[in-house]
């Protein structure tokens, strides 16, 4: 519009009802200042991926962020910090209405589960009877939604949006992140789940506020590198998620269900992993992001005997604001994600004086960034630390294993089996998972505990000295590590 063209230079954007402002920041480049943009809602109402903006509050993004500010009824925004490398434009062609309709259908399923439990409990004469409690847990299961589609189709964005909308109406869904290439809840290379509630809702840091995520370590960024290990860790994650939801007394968490993000799995082995995840997690709703062939293939699979429960498959349009990322950008984002794990917020400090933006009314309305962590190097004696790696972990080729397979042609090696490794310089800059300390004293029980354990956190190997018999790791906070058991992988990171 004429108004928009005349005022964009002043940073003002007037959005009509049911339109969105899309902003694409340039990736960080050596020798150039990082792009950081500030968005302030001056009038009306707006949201970013389901999280509402507050009038007068300064919201900041950087590091190549791609955001979409949507308004249902119209709004006025001020946008500061757009460089020549950034892209900003308005669009009235948005699939958000379809996404909101999907949220409404999921809400109906959650209400149905809660009503079924209420009716069942009214008929129960013995509340503590175990069989009746088990039946209640099955009835209380809310919708279990899995998002499928190729890479860069908007799966993660829709996950954030569905979770935000659910939280805003008082739900407490569980988010399961199976996309090991990104690590929305933890670091790349891990399969993770976490409950989501109102405390996790953030405009600029979606899902970063989820406390104590449950993680299982895969150790690489592609499931194709070790599909059997990936399946084994996914199966373990699914069992723990089921046990925690079925065992908890929080009816809201049970009836809110799951929202599951996946990698760009479409063909061959990827499709097999997709159907495996559906079965293990008890998925009953699959949302396919703008891919006709995958949609038809899933319809056929879900109507066959390969799936235990009834599954509804829905095809949703892909947003025109989705940006395709090349391998270099993906690598940069993974590196940034790991750095975020150790340092928390990495945006430059906001130097804008309070009250300098119209609508702030003379006070500082900047959203305080997450408190930065205090990562520190920790020296460990090699005699006191135990280093592990997954057996096979991509180091043994299938040709070498052919002669070792039994007559059935199937490997009898536990995909989660660990073996001790020697500390060498090859481990420099390797991201390692710190497992919870074992409770057993014997070496056999200790190995079993570590293999079946969960992750306490992560460290990065900074230095190894065979002469001094010591190694230095970077930890996200000072103090002793939770245990001496560090499990290696193929994920590297350098500051």
Instruction: Please state, in angstroms and rounded to a whole number, the distance separating the CA atoms of residues 98 and 96.
Output: 5
Instruction: Please state, in angstroms and rounded to a whole number, the distance separating the CA atoms of residues 78 and 237.
Output: 43
CA angle (298, 319, 220) in 5-degree steps:
65
Kindly report whether the global pTM for this prediction surpasses the value 0.85: yes
> What count of other Cβ atoms lies within 10 Å of the Cβ of residue 306?
11
pLDDT in tens, 246-291: 888 889 999 999 999 999 888 899 999 999 999 999 999 999 998 9
Contact 137, 120 (CB under 8 A): no
pLDDT in tens, 425-459: 999 999 999 998 766 666 777 788 888 878 899 99
| CA distances to 105, 232, 236, 438 from 452, in Å | 38, 11, 9, 10
Please provide the DSSP assignment of 390-444 as one string. ESSTTTS-HHHHHTTS-TTS---S-TT-EEE----GGGTTBEEEEEPPPS--SHH
Token pair 């059997």: residue: 228
| CA distances to 339, 349, 461 from 372, in Å | 11, 11, 21
pLDDT in tens, 62-97: 888 899 999 999 999 999 999 888 999 999 999 999
What residues are paired with 382 via a beta bridge?
none
Structural domains of the chain sorted by starting position, each given as residue range(s) with its CATH number in brackets: 12-93 (2.60.120.1030), 95-120+134-316 (3.40.50.300), 376-397+414-492 (2.40.30.330)
Predicted confidence band of residue 411 (pLDDT cuts 50, 70, 90): low
3-state secondary structure of 461: strand
**Average pLDDT over the chain, rounded to an integer:** 84
Instruction: Please state, in angstroms and rounded to a whole number, the distance separating the CA atoms of residues 432 and 460.
Output: 6
DSSP 28: P
Predicted confidence band of residue 321 (pLDDT cuts 50, 70, 90): confident
DSSP 29: -
């Amino acid at each position: 519009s004429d108004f928009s063209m005349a005022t964009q230079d002043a940073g003002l954007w007037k959005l009509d009802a049911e339109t969105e402002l899309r902003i694409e920041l340039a990736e960080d480049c050596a020798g150039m200042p990082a792009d950081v943009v500030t968005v302030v809602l001056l009038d009306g109402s707006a949201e970013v991926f389901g999280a509402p903006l507050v009038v007068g509050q300064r919201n900041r993004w950087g590091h190549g962020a791609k955001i979409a500010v949507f308004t249902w009824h119209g709004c006025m925004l001020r946008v500061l910090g757009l460089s020549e490398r950034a892209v900003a434009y308005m669009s009235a062609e948005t699939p958000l209405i379809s996404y909101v309709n999907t949220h409404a259908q999921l809400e109906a399923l959650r209400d149905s589960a809660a009503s079924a439990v209420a009716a069942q409990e009214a008929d129960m004469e013995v509340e503590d009877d175990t069989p009746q409690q088990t039946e209640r847990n099955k009835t209380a299961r809310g919708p279990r939604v899995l998002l499928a589609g190729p890479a860069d189709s908007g799966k993660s964005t829709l996950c954030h949006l569905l979770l935000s909308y659910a939280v805003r109406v008082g739900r407490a869904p569980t988010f399961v992140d199976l996309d090991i290439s990104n690590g929305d809840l933890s670091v790349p290379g891990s399969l993770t789940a976490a409950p989501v509630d109102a405390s996790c809702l953030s405009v600029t840091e979606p899902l970063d506020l989820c406390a104590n995520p449950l993680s299982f370590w895969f150790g690489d960024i592609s499931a194709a590198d070790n599909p059997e290990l990936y399946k084994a860790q996914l199966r373990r994650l699914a069992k723990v998620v089921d046990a925690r939801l079925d065992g908890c007394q929080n009816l809201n968490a049970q009836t809110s269900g799951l929202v599951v993000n996946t990698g760009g799995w479409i063909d061959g082995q990827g499709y097999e992993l997709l159907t495996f995840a559906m079965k293990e997690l008890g998925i009953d709703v699959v949302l396919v992001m703008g891919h006709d062939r995958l949609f038809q293939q899933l319809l056929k699979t879900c109507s066959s005997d390969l799936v235990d429960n009834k599954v509804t498959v829905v095809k949703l349009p892909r947003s025109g604001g989705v940006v395709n990322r090349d391998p270099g950008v993906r690598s940069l984002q993974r590196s940034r994600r790991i750095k975020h794990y150790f340092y928390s917020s990495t945006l430059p400090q906001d130097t804008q004086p309070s009250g300098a933006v119209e609508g702030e009314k003379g006070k500082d309305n900047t959203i305080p960034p997450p408190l930065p962590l205090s990562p520190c190097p920790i020296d460990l004696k090699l005699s006191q630390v135990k280093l592990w790696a997954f057996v096979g972990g991509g180091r043994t080729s299938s040709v070498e294993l052919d002669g070792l397979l039994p007559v059935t042609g199937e490997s009898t090696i536990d995909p989660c089996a660990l073996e001790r490794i020697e500390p060498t310089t090859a481990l420099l800059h390797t991201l390692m998972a710190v497992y919870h300390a074992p409770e057993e004293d014997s070496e056999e029980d200790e190995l079993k505990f570590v293999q079946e354990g969960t992750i306490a956190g992560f460290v990065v190997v900074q230095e190894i000295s065979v002469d001094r018999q010591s190694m230095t790791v970077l930890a996200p906070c000072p103090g002793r590590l939770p245990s001496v058991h560090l499990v290696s992988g193929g994920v590297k990171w350098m500051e």
